Structure 1
Amino acid sequence: MRPWSSEEFEAELRAVGEARYHHLHPFNERMHAGDLTEEEFRGWVRNRFYYQINLPVKDAFILTKLPGAERRKWIKRITDHDGTPEVEGGIERWVRLGEAVGLTRDELYDTRTVLPGVRFAVDAYVDFCRHKPWLEAVASAMTELFAPDLLSRRIVDVQKHYPWLDERGLEYFRTRLTQQPADIAHLLGLVLDNARTREQQEACVRALEFKCDVLWTLLDAVQLAHGKVE
């Protein structure tokens, strides 16, 4: 089969998000409609933290496989989440979100409380990035293509529907909105430029589908734990 053109390939990738990104999950829809209880919101923040602390881990595995010039760009993704001695990272900003919903730092970092389904999904994602070729691992991160609209809505809807949540806890989402344009441009360029055969392109699409499944499964586990199965 002939390779897709860049325009066709990008359209295939974006179609995955339109059909399978977790903005469509019932738990996310309930969050944005203001229907979550404090316990549900707290449970999501606590379990999503396991995903957050593993982002630099999966990015480090990808880093070891990238060509040199790309490694120098990719390392920013690690420091964005881990932070530096001078600059607070995304993990610390998520801790502040946790504190805003009534969790302590110790509770967040106690990974024994992570739901089994969340642990399984996140660990599978890290293993995927560890063992797959770098092109597929990078493609799996392209759920970021679909994140800005969701983050923008989340900031507005949380402020509207959950007034008990200190809005300073939303700084994680505000910061990601400023970081993501450069991240998305880098991801998209890497994948479109390096997936040259139809086989490589289809593998990238499958990798993105897998990542959507990871995010969906995470929400399935949180929803099931709170008895809200739909």
Structure 2
Amino acid sequence: MQRLWAFDEFEARLRACESRYHIHHRFNLRLNRGELQPFQVRAWVANRYYYQVAIPRKDAAIISNCPDRDERRRWVLRILDHDGRDAYDGDDAGGIEAWGRLAQAVGLDPEDLRTHRHVQPGVRFAVDAYVNFARQRPWEEAAISSLTEMFAPKIHADRLAAWPTLYPWIAADGLGYFRSRIPLATRDVEHGLEVARSWCTTRARQERAIAILNFKLDILWSMLDAIERGFPDDMPEAQRP
């Protein structure tokens, strides 16, 4: 039987998966270098919206499989973070509304956003696969898949730093989503690592956790693959978002 990794080593191995995070994808690199045309930025926002609205459903699936009341009470905060609290405006509006403000800032038609008109089949497939994974697997496994949040603050900070200069046509108040997610991601990672520590009591489970994290990284990478293919630089004007 292989030895159990000490938690520090296990966490380091989880964090080493960052090399496969979509921050390194060619489309994201171009996005953060200011190399994309406005229609491609709009396409990215429209397709990522499909992911944003799926996150609360994924988290609800995790809760539905979780028998621990205390864990459910902690995890439900993630649903509220995205679906919002009380009114649909202001600081408590939630991540979906914040993403909607980003969509407005880049010039997307609200009806196109709501109906997912520009969402690519590959994005639908990847996101739906992620939600189905959360529905079908033990809640601890689905919780561990959310540990891609370990890598999220960097990608959000990069956008906040670069976009105002590279994409001055995007209204600054549309970038609030990225700003709000940095502290929330830090909180969520702390909880996710607690789940990983308590569930991964064998080397086999530790290796399973790494495989799960890589699965989620594949989901995010595949989404950018589909967006990149669906919206090439020479896309005909009439077909552009």
1:97 aligns with one of 97, 102, 109: 102
Tell me what 2:210 maps to. Answer: 205
Tell me what 2:61 maps to. Answer: 61
Q: CA deviation at 1:112?
A: 4.3
Tell me what 2:139 maps to. Answer: 134
- Does 2:123 correspond to 1:114? no
Q: CA deviation at 1:150?
A: 1.2
State the alpha-carbon separation in 1 of the partners of residues 139 and 183 from structure 2.
Answer: 25
For residues 28-107 of structure 1, what are the structure 2 equivalents within 5 Å? Answer: 28-66=28-66, 67-86=68-87, 87-107=92-112
Greater shift in the superposed pair: 208-217 or 133-142: 133-142
| TM-score after normalising by structure 1 | 0.96
| TM-score after normalising by structure 2 | 0.92
Tell me what 2:173 maps to. Answer: 168
Q: For 1:152, give the aligned amino acid.
A: A
Q: For 1:227, give the aligned amino acid.
A: P
RMSD (CA atoms): 1.3
Structure 2: stretches of 5+ with no match in the other structure: 234-241
Would you say the 8 A contact 2:30–2:36 is kept in 1? Answer: yes
Tell me what 2:5 maps to. Answer: 4
Q: For 2:172, give the aligned amino acid.
A: E
For residues 142-221 of structure 1, what are the structure 2 equivalents within 5 Å? Answer: 142-221=147-226
State the alpha-carbon separation in 2 of the partners of residues 133 and 70 from structure 1.
Answer: 13
Deviations 1:104-149 (A, max 9, x none): 3221110243110000000011011111111211111100001111
Q: CA deviation at 1:192?
A: 1.7
Structure 1: stretches of 5+ with no match in the other structure: none
Deviations 1:70-105 (A, max 9, x none): 110000000000002142010000000000011132
State the alpha-carbon separation in 2 of the partners of residues 184 and 2 from structure 1.
Answer: 25
Q: For 1:78, give the aligned amino acid.
A: I
Give aligned-pair identity as a percent. Answer: 46
State the alpha-carbon separation in 1 of the partners of residues 109 and 60 from structure 2.
Answer: 27
State the alpha-carbon separation in 2 of the partners of residues 5 and 65 from structure 1.
Answer: 28
Kindly report structure 1 stretches of 4+ aligned residues shifted beyond 3 Å: none
State the alpha-carbon separation in 2 of the partners of residues 4 and 49 from structure 1.
Answer: 38
State the alpha-carbon separation in 2 of the partners of residues 209 and 51 from structure 1.
Answer: 18
